[in-house]
Amino acid sequence: MKEQKIIVGEFEDELYAEVARRDLEAAGISATKLKNNRRIIMKLTQQNRTVQLIIPVTQLEQAKKILERKFY
């Protein structure tokens, strides 16, 4: 049976997402980055890039504690 995954964080900057991913990996939490490109139409068209971190759902509480210390 495949392990369920959950989004633990969303970052506008890929650098911050990578730092968070490495912190999670150092704590033994397998984290994967997913990039999402969305277009926002205003007066000018801009591209909004977000990067999500996906982890095993069983490690959610531990991951939240790690990310809260660093990013919040």
The pLDDT of residue 18 is above 50: yes
Average pLDDT of the chain is: 83
Q: How far is CA 50 from the centre of its chain?
A: 9
Q: What is the pLDDT of residues 6-16, one digit of tens each?
A: 999 999 888 99
Q: How far is CA 53 from the centre of its chain?
A: 2
User: Shortest CA distance to 25 belongs to which of 55, 64, 65?
Assistant: 55
Tell me the C-alpha distance between 51 and 37, whole Å. Answer: 9
**What is the model's pLDDT at position 36?**
63
Average pLDDT over residues 24-52: 71
CATH architecture, domain defined by 5-67? 2-Layer Sandwich (3.30)
